[in-house]
A and B are shown apart, each in its own frame.
Chain A
Amino acid sequence: MKPEDRAAELFARLRSGDRRALARAITWIENGAEEATALLRLVYPLTGRAHVVGITGPPGAGKSTLVDRLASEQRARGRTVAIVAVDPTSPFSGGAILGDRIRMQRTLTDPGVFMRSLAARGHLGGLSPATGEVVSVLDAFGFDVILVETVGTGQSEVEIMALAHTTCVVVVPGLGDEIQAIKAGILEIGDVFVCNKADRDGADRTVNEIEMMLDLGHMGQPGINRWPAEPAEGGGAQSPAAGAALPPGADAALRRLDRTGHHSAADLARAAGYMTRAAVHAAERHGTANPGDISWRPPVLKTVAKDGQGVEAVVDRLDEHLTFLRETGRWEARREKDAALRLQELVGQRAARATLDRARAAGDLELLVRQVAERRLDPYTAADEILRNHWGR
């Protein structure tokens, strides 16, 4: 059977909801099997529906335990869940021990949950090279939510931001360390911050530090972040969303903020989150601002994942962020951007491969490499020459 036929056969099984077929599809992708591209072609039209949520943070922060709880909570809300967990590959043997299943005991036999462990296979950046395509297949299979857990290395997971619609950064109190990681770039990738193991000493301090850093990053930005620094005319707790329905609890939080003048970090976070949807409605209703101008101020939450504490609130925030993406036009914009990037990447890979193959077959490649190595030619001129003679024929 040709690879295309095998792909078509597996695709038919995928569409009928066969989980073994799904597992096999992922193996093909991971192994770069020749069937994989044919399958991904078939799968592509069915993708683009799932909410892809990235979970990242330093090792030992409790990512796997949190993912297990998030999956349970999503199930309780009637959604099906796929989990992709990436663990490191040994640089010496190429082998890996994938231990994330150990922490995911609550949902293992639930037919509405599918979990797959991926080895990073030598790839830096917190994801496996196949992760994006694995997510595509899970998406096409029809899962409502896809949770992607990165390798816990702390600083190099910026890739997850490109893959996930919503990125959840998990930290723990008392390391001091993870604040360093946050300074170094994690702060920009988080849409929702979770301080896990919040029953430990120092949780409030960790939360406050993140809140402060987020506030610094969001000062002076348009939309909800102006609030409450620039209260509505006449003062008082009037929200810019006057008339728009606020979620329960929001009014109280807003009033409390206004009355005391100085606000707890938790109140600020709560208010910022609550304001999102309301601000969008208000902007649309009053034409006061372009919904696209409204920015998201990430909330910071506390959880004790092992006991399930605070997990519902995390899922609330993930949902809220999805609403934010959809209602401000970012979901659509993101699709365009992803499509452009993907196309660019594929064209680049294929054009490079084809061009180099031709240059090699003609013997030019070897010749030019030698000249560059011996400093008789610079690599920029050599590249021009290859493109001039072998590109696009």
Chain B
Amino acid sequence: MEAASGRRIRVLVAKLGLDAHDRGAKVVARAYRDAGFEVIYTGLYQRPEAVAAAAIQEDVDVVAVSSLAGAHGVLIPQLIQLLREQGVDDVLILAGGIIPEDEVPALLEAGVSRVFGPGSDLEEIIEYTRENVKR
């Protein structure tokens, strides 16, 4: 087909490590879809290596990591490191879920653009994503 089908923002919604709760991730995935984004969901229990591989193969604009099990402080920086090692620098990284206030600065330092806590407005997440995608 030669006809232009236009650009769609692609988002990888990821669950890292031993974290069994993905209701939030699914709600966010659904909200992105309803806003016209293409969402790739990894499923539960992913290693950072698998999420990085998915982000690269799917050529996503955004990786949104949902964390409810406390390992984000280790796994998210690992993921970002893996992406950087493979030359990925144009992907917006978001985090969400149960992330204590005092752990947020370290995540931002590691390269997360923004952390959305419980009760975040879905509209706001989508607006933020739309305005901050890097390409």
List residues of A whose CB falls within 8 A of some B CB: 19-20, 23-24, 26-27, 30-33, 37, 89-90, 92-99, 101-103, 105, 108-109, 114-117, 119, 121, 129-130, 132-133, 346, 349-350
Contacts and interface: CB of A to CB of B under 8 A. Distances in A.
**Most chain B CB within a 10 A radius of its CB, from A31, A37, A97, A117:** A97
Contact of B2 (A23, A37, A93, A105): A37
A24 B10 CA distance: 12
Nearest first, the 8 A-B pairs at minimum CB distance are A32-B4, A102-B43, A95-B33, A23-B59, A129-B1, A94-B36, A108-B50, A27-B59
B88 interface: yes
Contact of B37 (A95, A130, A346): A95
Contacts of A349: 2-3
A103 B43 CA distance: 8
Contact of A23 (B5, B32, B39, B58): B58
Given A97-B41, A101-B41, A105-B43, A26 B35 contact: no
A19 B33 contact: no
A82 to B, nearest CB: 10
A130 B6 CA distance: 12
B53 interface: yes
Nearest to A119: B38
Nearest to A118: B38
5 contacts: A23-B58, A32-B2, A93-B33, A97-B30, A98-B38
State the main secondary structure of chain A at its contact with B: mixed
A350 B3 CA distance: 10
B49 interface: yes
**Most chain B CB within a 10 A radius of its CB, from A24, A30, A130:** A30
B1 A133 contact: yes
Contacts of A132: 1
Nearest to B6: A31
A129 B3 CA distance: 9
Contact of B57 (A30, A95, A115, A346): A115
Given A116-B57, A117-B58, A99 B41 contact: yes
B54 interface: yes
B133 interface: no
A95 B2 contact: no
A130 B43 contact: no
A386 B130 CA distance: 43
B56 interface: yes
A71 B2 CA distance: 30
B132 interface: no
Nearest to A131: B1
Nearest to B33: A95
B57 to A, nearest CB: 6
Contacts of B32: 95
B49 A109 contact: yes
B39 A20 contact: no
B119 interface: no
A108 B53 contact: yes
A93 B38 CA distance: 10
A19 B43 contact: no
Given A94-B36, A101-B43, A119 B8 contact: yes
Contacts of B50: 105, 108-109
Given A94-B8, A97-B30, A101-B41, A20 B88 contact: yes
Nearest to B40: A98
Given A95-B34, A108-B53, A129 B41 contact: no
B41 A346 contact: no
A133 B4 CA distance: 13
A349 B38 CA distance: 28
A20 B49 contact: no
**Most chain A CB within a 10 A radius of its CB, from B56, B57, B86:** B57
Nearest to B55: A23
A94 B37 CA distance: 7
A90 B37 CA distance: 10
A353 to B, nearest CB: 8
Nearest to A117: B40
Given A31-B6, A108-B54, 4 more contacts: A95-B33, A108-B50, A119-B8, A129-B1
Contact of B41 (A92, A98, A116): A98
